[in-house]
């Protein structure tokens, strides 16, 4: 099915319908409006919960792809593209990832992050071209994000990625959408109508931020870039992050602040190296070798270094 053939009438989508309890929103007080929005926001986690099996399947697929040297590529337009950009941008420093490991493609390019580019959302040729620039392969996972599930740019980009052999996932808020049909697999968070009818930056955007947080965080955890619940791969590039790294080393190894700070310095400001050094009682050289052999998995590296 081509993106054009898969288009559906927006009026049929639950996310586009008017919420029955909010039809007099403009007559409410500030507190009443806030209460109405808050009540609906409280339903988002439940909608995400229902999609957890599909989210878990995607996490494993992403972890496997990155372990093979592949990439996670998000694609979206408008709110969906901005949510994608936020997760991709923040995951890289959180886990000290190699640049390009997690990417985003947004209709209208980086300019769309600050300036609306609505016309670009309907450009199928642009969607295909932007995805073609990334040259996706079977080693990559491409997640197309569209609350409606019918954005032409996103559908075309996902279809192009699938044609090139990438694993493709649709993240939408409506079942049996054209985007779901264009992708190989779907995560559907059925949040229903918005308090502000059709404004997918609200519940739909919140749901999708939650899902992307889960996917990137859990995939990195599965790869061993997390030890316990500590982000041991953090790169201390400023004073706040240096202090955070020292605290993480303390918590991960039981060492005091002085020993943790010293280990971080000896490790060349590489947090995972310092953790392995102290936890396994080994030199920097041994710790680095263990991390290299375990592809950066800190827990496995500690076990390997301890046997040396």
Q: What are phi and psi of 92, to 5 degrees?
A: -60, -50
SS3 label, residue 286: helix
What is the SS3 string spanning 136-149? CCCCCEEEEECCCC
Q: Output the six-digit token pair for 300.
A: 């496995």
* Phi-psi region at 132: left, alpha or beta (left = phi > 0; alpha = psi -120 to 50): alpha
122: which residues sit within 8 A by CB, 6+ positions away?
152, 153
**198, 16 Cβ separation under 8 angstroms:** yes
From the list 121, 130, 160, 190, the catalytic residue is: 121
Q: Is 121 known to be catalytic?
A: yes
The answer to whether 90 is a known catalytic residue is yes
Distance separating alpha carbons of residues 174 and 138, to the nearest angstrom:
27
What is the dihedral angle through the alpha carbons of 230, 89, 200, 172, rounded to the nearest 10 degrees?
-70
Beta strands in 34-184 (DSSP E): 72-76, 102-106, 141-145, 167-172
Which residues are bridge partners to 74 per DSSP?
104, 143
Give the pairing of strands 141-145 and 167-172: parallel
* Residues with a known catalytic role: 90, 121
């Amino acid at each position: 099915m081509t993106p054009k053939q898969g288009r559906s009438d927006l009026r049929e989508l639950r996310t586009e319908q008017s919420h029955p309890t909010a039809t007099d929103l403009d007559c409410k007080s500030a507190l009443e409006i806030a209460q109405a929005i808050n009540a609906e926001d409280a339903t988002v986690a439940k909608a995400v919960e229902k999609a957890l099996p599909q989210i878990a399947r995607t996490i494993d697929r992403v972890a496997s792809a990155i372990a093979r040297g592949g990439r996670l590529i998000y694609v979206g337009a408008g709110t969906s593209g901005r949510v994608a950009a936020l997760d991709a941008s923040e995951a890289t420093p959180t886990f000290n990832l190699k640049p390009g490991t997690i990417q985003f493609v947004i209709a209208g390019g980086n300019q769309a992050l600050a300036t609306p580019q609505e016309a670009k959302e309907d450009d199928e040729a642009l969607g295909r071209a932007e995805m073609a620039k990334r040259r996706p392969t079977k080693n990559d996972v491409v997640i197309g994000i569209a609350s409606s599930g019918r954005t032409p740019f996103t559908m075309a980009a996902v279809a192009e990625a699938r044609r090139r052999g990438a694993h493709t996932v649709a993240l939408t808020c409506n079942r049996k959408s054209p985007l779901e049909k264009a992708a190989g697999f779907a995560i559907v968070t059925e949040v229903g109508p918005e308090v502000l009818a059709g404004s997918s930056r609200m519940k739909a955007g919140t749901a999708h931020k939650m899902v992307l947080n889960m996917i990137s965080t859990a995939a990195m955890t599965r790869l061993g870039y997390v030890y316990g619940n500590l982000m041991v791969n953090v790169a201390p590039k400023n004073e706040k992050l240096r202090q955070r790294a020292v605290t993480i080393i303390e918590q991960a190894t039981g060492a005091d602040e002085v020993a943790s700070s010293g280990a971080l310095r000896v490790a060349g400001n590489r947090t995972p190296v310092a953790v392995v050094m102290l936890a396994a009682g080994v030199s920097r050289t041994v710790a680095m070798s263990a991390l290299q052999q375990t592809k950066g998995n800190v827990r496995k590296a500690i076990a390997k270094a301890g046997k040396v």
